[in-house]
Structure 1
C-alpha cells in the first residue's frame, strides 16, 4: 500500500494485485500472476500499446468448489482505481464492555490461527467457510456485533479504538483478528487465517489507541456477526514467557472498509459450507496436539539466570534416520566473559548445535537454556543472542551505516536500543562506514557483518567461521574484535577451523567429534596436558644431538624447534625426571623443561582417541 502511494506520486504507472494465500498460498495463482507481470512488461517496457496491462486494482480469493473435480475456484473483484486500505469505511457497533484475560506462563498453549507450511491450505478452507482457529478460555477478549441486516463486503483494513492495560508496568503483547460468525453462533471463520500482532507500551496504555486489523477481502453475509478477538498468544508468533494480566476495552465501533468502487465477480459462499464445523473441529484438534508438542516450553530456571548457556543431554538425529545422530548426548556450560571455541572436524555436529542454539531447529532430546530460559523456535530470550552465520547480505549501493540502520529498523525495536556506535567502535570500521558496501574488501564486509550481529549489544554472540576469506592482518583484527566484545562481561561462542587463532583468542574450548563431546575446559588446560615436552637450551642444538635424544629409551621422538635453541620431545614411557637425567648425561645445556602441546596437537590427539 505504501509502495503504491510512493510510486504513483512519482508519476510512474502502478497497479496493485492482492493475491489469495500470500507466500504460503500454494500454486493457485502462479500462472495468472506470471502472465500479469509479462503483460505489464510488454506494455510499459516494450511499449506495446496493444498489451493488456489489466485493471488498476485486482483482488482474488479462493471460494467455491468445482463440482467436476473438487478443485478450489478463484474468485475476486477489480476496480479502475486502487482504493487503498480504508476506502468507504462503515462503522459497526460492538458489544462486550471491558474484558480481562491472561498470558499464561511460557505462553503455552498458544492460540492457533495458521500453522507454518500449511497456511495457504487453511486460508483456502477458511474461504470455504471451514473454521480452523482456536482461542483458549481465559486467554482472549471477545467483542461482537449484532447480526448484519445486509451482507457486507470488507476489502481493506478494519480499525478499532481500544483501551489496554497490562499488569506489572510492562508491554501488552496482543494478537487481533476479526471472525465471521454464523447465524447460530456455532461456527466462526477467520478470513484468510490472518491475525495482526501488537505491542502496546506502558506509555500507550490507559488511553484510546487505534489498532489496524489484518487487511482482508471477505464477504460477511446477512444474519452473520463480526467477532473482534484479542488473544494473548498465537502459534505463529513469540509471546512474552512471563505471565501477565491484560484488560481491554473496545472504546469505539469497528470501522470496516467496503471499497464501493470495487466490482465483485463472486457469489457468496455456498450454504453448505457452514455445515462443516465437525470437520473443522477434528482438523483443529489435530493441529492443536501438534502445536502443543512443538511449542510447550519448560518454566525458567532461576538458578541459571546469570548463565549465558547451558546445554544438557542434547541429541539430534539425521532426517529419516533411526540411529544416526548429528549430535548425541552433548552437555556443556558457558559462563559470562568467556570466549568459547567450538571445535571439531567436518561432520562433528558443530553447525547442527549452533542451529539448535539459535532456535532454527528443534532437538530430539535434551535442552538448551540461555540465561535460564529454554530455547524453542521464537523464544523471547533469543533477543539477547546475536549471530553471524555464513555471511550477511548487504545492499551494495548503500553505505555500511545505512545498512545497519535499515537492519535495526526491520527488527521493530527502538532505535536507542541498537547501540550502533558502541558496536561500530568494537568492530573498528572507522570512516569506511560512510562508503558504499560495494567498495568494501572481504575483511571489511566481515567486520560489518560482525557489527550487525552486535547491534543491541547481545549478551551472547555466536560467530560461525568469522575469519573465512580474510588475510592474516584481517584475521588478527577479527581476533581483537572478539576479545574486546567479551571484555565487557558478555560471552562469545566462535566456531572456526583456524586452530592457531582459536588458541590465541579463546579462553575455553569445546571439542566435538562424531556428534559427541570429547573434551571441554580452559584452553591452557587442554593444550597443557599430554606427553609433549619442550626443552629449552642455552645454545643451538645440533641435529646429531637431537638424534641421540630421540634414540633414548622411552622417548618417542625428538625434533629441534624452529630457532634450533630447544627440543620438542614426545615421551613414550619415560618420565620427565628420567629425561632430564639423560639430557644432563649427554651434556645438553638445558635451561628449562616443561609440558608443551599446541592446540593442533591436542585437537588431533583428542579426535583420534589418542592415536595421533
Structure 2
C-alpha cells in the first residue's frame, strides 16, 4: 500500500481496526485534544474527527491547536504540559478550582522575537469548538467554468515542492508573516485565483471547493493547496506548508467531487489574493509514474471557514519593542564613527594587478585564546597558470587560511591580496574567485545543467557571463548533463560541483579536498579537470591529503605545520633533495648487472623501475656512481634525484599526517 497508494481489503480492515475511530463511540470521559498545525502526518482534520466522535457521546471536549507538530516548529511544551496537568487536576483529582482552559484554543504567530529570531505566539480562543467549517464565506475564483488541462510527467518528475525536509516546520510557523518556500512547475498544475481582497480575511478550518476532474487514464492523483498571494501576484505563501493529496477514480469522462483542502489558521491581508492550485506531483508524496493528462474545472467559488467566534488575545507592547530599536540606532551610530577607519579596505596595489594571490604576514588566533594561533605570520605568492597544492597535517591551518582567502573570516593581522585588491567580506574582487568547499547541494530532481543554471540565476549576474558550456566542457560530464542529479555517481556529483565553482570562469579557483569519497578512476578524472582548467592561464589552489595526487596534478606546493609556513616552491624543487637517484637507461638492465650495481661500494641498493634503475646512495656520491655505471657498461641516459612527495612531506613536518 505504501508503494501503490491503494489499500486492499486486508489493509482497509487493519486500518479500521487500529484507527481511533474504532473506539471513538466508547470514549465517554472528558477529553483534551492537542493537535499540531505543522503536521502533515496527523493533520487538524484528525483532531476534528476525534472531537466530533467524543462530543457525540456527551463527554466534555476541549481542542488545542499548537504551533508545531511532526513537521517541526514550536510544540509549546511548557504551556501544553501545564494545561494537561490542570485538566487532570480537574477531572482526575476532582479539583473544582482547577482551570481547564477554553473549549478551543489556537496558537497564532504574532511577530518575530528580535532577540532570538523565533516566532512569537499569541493565543486565540473560543467558548466552543468551531469545527473546520464554521462561518463559511464563498470567494469567487477567476477562470471558474473554464477547465484547465495539465500533465503528470513520466516518472512524476520534477515534482512540485510544498515543503523542504528539515525546514518545513519552521516555515509553517512563519507563513503568516509572509515567509514560505514552494514551487509549482508550468504545465503540471491548474490554478484559479480570486480578485484582491478588499478587507483582511482570517481562515480557520478547511477550505472546500467543488471541481470536475477528467483523466485520459481514468484516474487522477492531485495535490490541492491554497496560496496567499501578495499584491504583485508573484510572492506566494503556502499556509503551514500543507497540501491535500486526493485520488479521483472513474474520471475517464469527468467526475464531480468536493475537495476538502488542508485545515489551517491563517490571516490573508487586504489586497492579497487566494490562489487555488491543483498539481499533478508533490515532493512529499509518491505520484503515478505513468504519464497522464488531467483536465480540471472549478464549479462555484472557494468556500473558506472564518470561525467568527474565535478571538485573538490582546497583547501589550513590551519595553524592548521601542527600546531596542532606539538602542540599536545609537550603537550603530557609534560603530560607524569608530570603525570606519578599521573597515575601509586599502587601495589596490597596481604592481600586483596580474598576481592571482599574495598573502603577507597572515595571522589568526583561536577564539578565546591570547597565545594559540591557527595561522601565524604566513606569507606566500601564487602566479598565473599555477596549480598550487596546500599541504599540512590536521590542524596545520589550511582550512582557516582558505576561509580567510574567501572572505568568510577576518584575519587578526596581515593581509590577503587577490589581483592587487585586499580581501574583505563581500569584496568585489571575490567575483573573480570560485570555490568548492565541502561539496555542493543540488536539487536531485533537476538535471545537472538545470542545477547550474538555477545557481547562476541566484547570483543575479548576467546569463552571458556564466560561461556554462566552457565550464561543463572542462568538467567533462558529457551526456550526463541532461540526466537528473539523483542518478549521478559520487564522482559525477563532485565534477558537477567543481563545474559550479567554475561558472563565470573565475581567474582563481579554490578546491578543498575535491577527491573526497572518489575511487581511483574518479580521482584521475578530477586531476585532469584541474589541469585542464589551469591550462588556460587560470590559477588553481587545491587542499588535499592525497599526496600522490598532489604530486601528479600540482606544479607548486605550500607546506604548513602548526599554522606556519614550512616550505613553498615548485614540486620538483621540494621533492628533489634526497639520497635516492633515478638512473634512466636506453634499454632494460639485466638482473646480473642490477646486482653488480647494488653491490658497489657506497651503494645501499639498486632496483629496476620503469625506464631504468632506482639507486640508493649509502656513502657514495653521484659522480662516483656515474663513473661506476660507465665502467660496468650500463646503457646510461641520465641520472637525477628521486624522492616521493610523501618522503619530502614527512621530512618537512617531522612525521605527521596530511
In the superposition, the TM-score normalised over structure 1's length comes to: 0.56
Distance 1:515 1:545, change over 3 A: farther
Is the counterpart of residue 484 in structure 1 residue 532 in structure 2?
Answer: yes
> What are the Cα deviations for residues 141-174 of structure 1, in whole angstroms up to 9, with x where unaligned?
xxxxxxxxxxxxx9xxxxxxxxxxxxxxxxxxxx
Distance 1:275 1:529, change over 3 A: closer
Q: Distance in 2 between matches of 1:415 and 1:56?
A: 47
Give the corresponding residue for 2:3. none
Of residues 444, 453, 458, the one that matches 2:492 is: 444
Q: Distance in 1 between matches of 2:316 and 2:328?
A: 20
**Tell me, what secondary structure is at the counterpart of 1:479?**
helix
Give the corresponding residue for 1:524. 572
Of residues 496, 500, 506, the one that matches 2:554 is: 506
1:548 CA drift (Å): 6.4
1:258 CA drift (Å): 7.9
Give the corresponding residue for 2:110. 60
Distance 1:364 1:45, change over 3 A: farther
> What are the Cα deviations for residues 65-112 of structure 1, in whole angstroms up to 9, with x where unaligned?
9xxxxxx9977999x99xxxxxxxxxxxxxxxxxxxxxxxxxxxxxxx
Is the counterpart of residue 297 in structure 1 residue 298 in structure 2?
Answer: no
Structure 1 range deviating more: 440-449 or 268-277 = 268-277
Of residues 610, 614, 635, the one that matches 1:568 is: 614
Of residues 437, 454, 466, the one that matches 1:389 is: 437
1:46 CA drift (Å): 7.1
Q: Distance in 2 between matches of 1:272 and 1:515?
A: 44
**Tell me, what secondary structure is at the counterpart of 1:37?**
coil
| Structure 1 residues 411-430: aligned runs within 5 Å | 411-430=459-478
Whether the aligned pair in 2 keeps the contact of 1:482 and 1:505 (CA below 8 Å) is yes
Using CA pairs below 8 Å that are at least 6 residues apart, which structure has the higher relative contact order?
A: 1
Whether the aligned pair in 1 keeps the contact of 2:561 and 2:653 (CA below 8 Å) is yes
Give the corresponding residue for 2:642. 596
> What are the Cα deviations for residues 551-584 of structure 1, in whole angstroms up to 9, with x where unaligned?
65554x3230335x74323345532112223445
Q: Distance in 2 between matches of 1:445 and 1:436?
A: 11
Q: Distance in 1 between matches of 2:567 and 2:538?
A: 23
1:416 CA drift (Å): 2.0
Give the corresponding residue for 1:42. 43
1:332 CA drift (Å): 1.0
Structure 1 range deviating more: 302-311 or 544-553 = 544-553
Distance 1:499 1:416, change over 3 A: same
Give the corresponding residue for 2:55. none
Q: Distance in 1 between matches of 2:343 and 2:49?
A: 53
Q: Distance in 1 between matches of 2:338 and 2:361?
A: 23
Of residues 458, 466, 479, the one that matches 1:431 is: 479
Distance 1:45 1:342, change over 3 A: farther
Of residues 371, 374, 384, the one that matches 1:326 is: 374
Is the counterpart of residue 559 in structure 1 residue 606 in structure 2?
Answer: yes
1:442 CA drift (Å): 1.0
What count of residue pairs does the alignment treat as equivalent?
403
1:62 CA drift (Å): 6.6
Give the corresponding residue for 1:283. 331
Give the corresponding residue for 1:308. 356
Q: Distance in 1 between matches of 2:46 and 2:339?
A: 48
Whether the aligned pair in 1 keeps the contact of 2:36 and 2:43 (CA below 8 Å) is no
Whether the aligned pair in 2 keeps the contact of 1:308 and 1:370 (CA below 8 Å) is yes
Unaligned runs of 5+ in 1: 1-33, 66-71, 82-153, 155-209, 213-256
| Structure 1 residues 225-264: aligned runs within 5 Å | none
Q: RMSD over aligned Cα, in angstroms?
A: 4.5
Give the corresponding residue for 1:372. 420
Is the counterpart of residue 453 in structure 1 residue 453 in structure 2?
Answer: no
Higher radius of gyration, 1 or 2: 2
> What are the Cα deviations for residues 299-344 of structure 1, in whole angstroms up to 9, with x where unaligned?
2222212211111111122222232222221111111222111122
Distance 1:303 1:76, change over 3 A: farther
Distance 1:374 1:57, change over 3 A: farther
Distance 1:291 1:396, change over 3 A: farther
Is the counterpart of residue 493 in structure 1 residue 541 in structure 2?
Answer: yes
Whether the aligned pair in 1 keeps the contact of 2:442 and 2:485 (CA below 8 Å) is yes
Whether the aligned pair in 1 keeps the contact of 2:597 and 2:606 (CA below 8 Å) is no
Distance 1:390 1:454, change over 3 A: same
Distance 1:344 1:544, change over 3 A: farther
| Structure 1 residues 262-277: aligned runs within 5 Å | none
Q: Distance in 2 between matches of 1:350 and 1:52?
A: 53
Of residues 357, 368, 373, the one that matches 2:405 is: 357
1:451 CA drift (Å): 0.9
Q: Distance in 1 between matches of 2:555 and 2:579?
A: 22
